[in-house]
A and B are shown apart, each in its own frame.
Chain A
Amino acid sequence: MKTVLETKNINKYFKKPVLFHVLRDISFKVNPGEFVSIMGKSGCGKSTLLYILSTMDTDYEGELYLNDKLITGLDKDELSRIRSEFIGFVFQFHYLLGEFSVLENVMLPAKKLGRKSPEEIEYSAMEKLRMLGIEKLALKRASRISGGEKQRVAIARSLINDPIIIMGDEPTGNLDSFNSKLVFDIFQGLSKEQGLSLLVVTHDEDFAAKTDRIIEMGDGMILK
């Protein structure tokens, strides 16, 4: 069976302000449809790892595979394309373009990818918004909606290009328990019903306990 995401011996150093070995020999796999959470103390390197996995950070040693294909060492424009085609990313802070409408925020990555016609893109964007229960907000400005709503918009955006994996960096870290549960349920639905792989960093024990697998990190290493 294919693996969606695999790392082999990833090491990363920060050279400033002092030489700092932030990630040590990270090797793990994520299988299709698997919902994996990453836990670990603040500062142990979870975000740093996620930036590497999402192809945004290319300054590391080791190998990164997506769909069994080595993507380490590809050039930036190719990585941009891979990122938009295969990876959905949800941040802790709802990173939306505040001047655009909710619908436009969701559509932009698909328009960039250009795989579908504008009508199809709008249709599937509305579909995603409906799935997340926020289709009523479609035409609102992204800066004028609540935090929980923003996070759901960000999830809709991460889904627009039908990625093979969603990565989240503490996506519920900023939400109240009601909205946290909402987001968790959405993630679980995606994994169970649509067979999407998820890799989510969290501090929330309850959240992690309900996922398929927990990766524990400490001091830049995988503990178990």
Chain B
Amino acid sequence: MPFPLRKPSHILVYILLTCREIGCLRRFATWTFKAMWHLSASRLAGMAMAMQQSFTVYPFDPPGDVAALRAEIRAFLAQHEAKLGVPNCWVVGDPEFSRALGAAGFLGMILPQEVGGHARHPLERYVVIEELLAAGAPVGAHWIADRQTAPLILRYGSDEAKERYLPGICRGEIYTCIGLSEPGAGSDLAAVRTSARHTAEGWRISGQKIWTSGAHMSHVMLALVRSEEGSERNAGLSQFLIPMDAPGITIRPIIDMGGDHHFNEVFFDDVLLPEWAMVGTRGQGWAQATAELALERSGPERYLSSHVLMTALIDAAGPDPEPQIRGLIGELTAELWTLRQMSMSTAAKLAAGEDPMVEASMVKDLGNSFEQALPQRVQALVDCPSTRDDDLARLMRALLIAAPSFSLRGGTREIIRGIIARGLGLR
């Protein structure tokens, strides 16, 4: 074979691609290949810079027998079949279901055994939660505690906080809420004004949180508050665990547009907290809350919370649907499958100890758009007059109403795209 040996790279390719068939030379060729590579690396680097990549794929490789783990959680779900099929299921709470999940060892999976956890790998937890979401299980009661509060307490919390809350979270008995948003601090979270004042008896909390999901079902709130008087923006903030039954707390329901009581206003009137209620380092609340948001935004719930509508559509369509419906199902399948690959890769990156901020934002944005479009695409093709009352029609209507919240909660679409743009070097 003619071969222009003009550049080191060509010699490499030549050795790599043509010399390997000669058995006895193979080891030599590989060795030469590597040696040549080191010699020529610097020249090659100048010649052809490695191409930019929009998304680096991390292999999803949980330890242990994944099929067996899936079978276990599916068997659990089969026992609770009557409770499944809930749309937007991770905001729908069912303490009985949460306790059963805890008893079966599916909560606090990544926490150590000393605090009641199960010392499993984060990707094993991922397998379990994607099964729960795909089945539309009512996981809302414990969702926030298991997803973000428990890992935060484990990492930054005092010994008292760990003892008091973690075992109960693992049993599915203690629920938590997120105290970030305030009337004046929505997307601009650094505008938080709720304050913590240090006194001889402990910390005194005053102010207000709003849009607090599940505050009325929660035992404790993990709140971001201003602990340093006169501080500005993201400096001087700290995180606190606030027991929801502490004197001085008032919870007022806010009914959402679907008629459900899901989020709340929470008022703090000089609420007294013990020293151990502060989480992590005084004044480091912003960095900790950012770590918390990485857990909040990177999970499969950002594309799987409407999966039950897709299954209802497939059920209703039957094995041989008309061409238009078949086409829609095909498109939805492609999008779902792609999102799952992206989500698994993001989870794997987080599990590898790296920061998947940009990848998680991409999955959230794409997942939100997918889920918001889903009920509208079903509506456009399937005849569902408001009098129709089967599973498909009910789920479609419920999700049409729930959908606007998807690209608001956990960071709005615009904020999320801003994070992606920063990753591209534009900000």
Q: A and B from one assembly?
A: no
